[in-house]
Amino acid sequence: MPTYEELGFGRGAVASRDSSRTIFGQVMGLVAFTCGFAALGAYVGRNMTGGAGIFFFIAAFACIFGLNFAARRGHEQLAIALLFGMGLLLGMAVSPVLVYYANTNTGVVYQAAAATAGFVGGLGAIGYATRRDLSSWARTIFWALLALIVFGVIAMFVAIPHANIIYCIAGLAIFGAFTVFDFNRLKRMPSTVSAVPIAAGIFLDIFNVFLFFLSLFGGGGSRR
């Protein structure tokens, strides 16, 4: 007896699922490679001073703008190269911080990495599994991020009790929301759209969550 699919029913749903899996695999593969380049950057920059990190942060942000522009213009290979370059530069930018924690309390780095994996994995699964379109979150979490940046700047000049804990917990809440949002966006992304910008977004979620956990567990450290 012919199956349901052989009769022609449900083929659209099966194709859609296959397409979603393909896109998911492409994006997460790009994220994994970008994390690898970030780790390489952290190793390359292990002997640098903290002041050099500012230059690498600026260059990394230039890569972010560049990869989005290249992706929109259909220059996929250039966009991927800029994505990996962004990961390398961000790894070099935070290398002095990682070296400091590795030399003073190596366990903090491993704790932050494990917490990041669980945090992003759990919230990413929620974002990918939900059937709701969460695009309406974009403006709210963007303004929340701007408010966090303003708070961080104020805390540099004004003594605020437990400022680091407040900053880190608020940052984790905001980038937790970004993680749910980006994985939901990944689920709804059409196959005709470049995978690079969404991979960049998820990588930045992971990167920032890791830094917030590192600062929280280490009792201080850098701010975004």
Model pLDDT for residues 139-157, shown as the tens digit of each residue = 999 999 999 999 998 988 8
User: Does residue 128 surpass a pLDDT of 90?
Assistant: yes
Confidence (pLDDT) at 2: 47
For the beta carbon of residue 129, count every other beta carbon within 10 angstroms. 10
Residue 178's φ and ψ, nearest 5 degrees, are -60, -40
pTM, full prediction: 0.86
Token representation of residue 15? 């194709």
Q: Where do the H-state alpha helices sit in the chain?
A: 11-44, 52-72, 76-104, 106-129, 137-157, 163-187, 196-218
Asked if residues 59 and 41 have their Cβ atoms less than 8 Å apart, the reply is: no
Region 67-76: mean pLDDT is 92
Q: Is pLDDT above 80 for 54? A: yes
Phi, psi dihedral angles at 5 (to 5 degrees): -70, -35
* pLDDT (0 to 100) of residue 93: 93
Residue predicted with more confidence, 80 or 46 = 80
* Band of pLDDT at residue 10, cut at 50, 70 and 90: very low
Compute the mean pLDDT over every residue in the chain, rounded to the nearest whole number. 87
Residue of 82 and 102 predicted with greater confidence: 82
